[in-house]
Amino acid sequence: MKRIALALTLLFISLPISAHASNAVTITAPSHRHLDGTFIDDKLSQELAPSGRLGQLVFLGTRYVTTWRVDPALLEDIQAMSQGYSVSGQGEGVGKDVAISWLNQFQRDIANRRVEAIVYANPSEYWVNKFFPHDRDFLLSVSGKRLSLLLNRVVGVPKNYDATNYFSLTQSQVRLLNISNSRLAASASYMDSPELENYKLSAVKVLNPSLTATARQSLSYDLAGIVNQLRGSVRVSTGKFTITSTNQKLPVTVTNDFPQQIVVDLLIHSTNERISVGDISSVTIPGKSKVQVMVPITVFTSGDSGFSITIKGRSGAVYGQTVIYPLKIAVISPIATWITGAAGVVLLGAAILQSLRRLRKGKKVGTQ
């Protein structure tokens, strides 16, 4: 009997106590939010319910979990839900209370347990290496930092990527990612670290292997849109001018919204041949500042004209929109004055000559 009891005891000890027994549980999901914070859909609220995939991970059988591995991007989405949120095309979301309940239970689960971060938004390492090779290690370190701030506790930093596999991207998505990457690289040195970090983390959300085709396309357009807004961070003012002298300098304001100093070239072209203008190189604009640039104009003839200005950074990136400045020229140029003067002299000479001829003709008539 003692042997049977011992055998049963050993058998009981060897059986799995729980589905989570001595396991590391990973909490991750593809992003359900547009990059402006609006939710793409309300499916995450269903996943967070006690019967949903993410709900079951935190509400059921968590006693023997030793390590929680958490995606900081997902936790940001859930915290955003808990504050109240809107769903694109639907209005107010219904998952606020579900999100609050999930977060409260999650905090109880991770108390006195090890917590590790996985890479932010769980992107595919394959595509990270293709689009953002220089940021591969940065994404590992920043993911741990973000999760630590979200949970207000020390967490483990990921050493590897969970997702490593290749998956197909459409030509449109590849093009949008390349454009976004190029624009971000051109502006990176003028941005502060938190802003640059947010842009980079927004970009990798597109590379989660589990995104639906619709969500990935939506996030791709989102990314291209927000990165394209960087173009407007440096811009010239609009305006129109009246010129009253043949050589005049016109004031144009250049604004830099970046926190760091930027040096740009102004590419300037006239709209017709009534005036002459030239490019202005190496205009330095301090961060969060405006400078006034004097554009020299040479006038050839009166009438309507104009000039355009395009801003080009040292990286070759174009900033702002090309602005056209209409000109009303109310001045006679030196060339026009010379021509008019010469014509006047010719006319005067002709009049004198005509008078002399008349006098000579009168004298001849008188002698007869």
- What pLDDT, in 10s, does the model give residues 216-257? 999 999 999 999 899 999 999 999 999 989 999 999 999 999
> Which fold is adopted by the domain 237-334?
Immunoglobulin-like (2.60.40)
| Model pLDDT, residue 360 | 62
- Mean pLDDT within 29-57: 94
216-229 residues labelled b (16+ CB within 10 A) or e (exposed) = bbbbbbbbbebbee
The CA-atom distances, in angstroms, between 240 and each of 74, 127, 243 are 50, 48, 10
- Model pLDDT, residue 4: 41
- Using CB atoms within 10 A of its CB, is residue 49 exposed (0-12), middle (13-18) or buried (19+)? middle
Domain ranges of the chain: 16-231, 237-334
pLDDT higher than threshold 60 for residue 362: no
Task: Assign 6 a pLDDT band (cuts: 50, 70, 90).
Answer: very low
**pTM, entire model:** 0.78
Mean pLDDT of the chain: 87
Q: Tell which wins on pLDDT, 363 or 330.
A: 330
Summarize pLDDT for 303-339 with one digit per residue, the tens.
999 999 999 998 889 999 999 999 999 875 555 555 6
Segment 91-117, tens digit of pLDDT: 899 999 999 999 999 999 999 999 999
If pLDDT is split at 50, 70 and 90, which confidence band does 19 have? very low
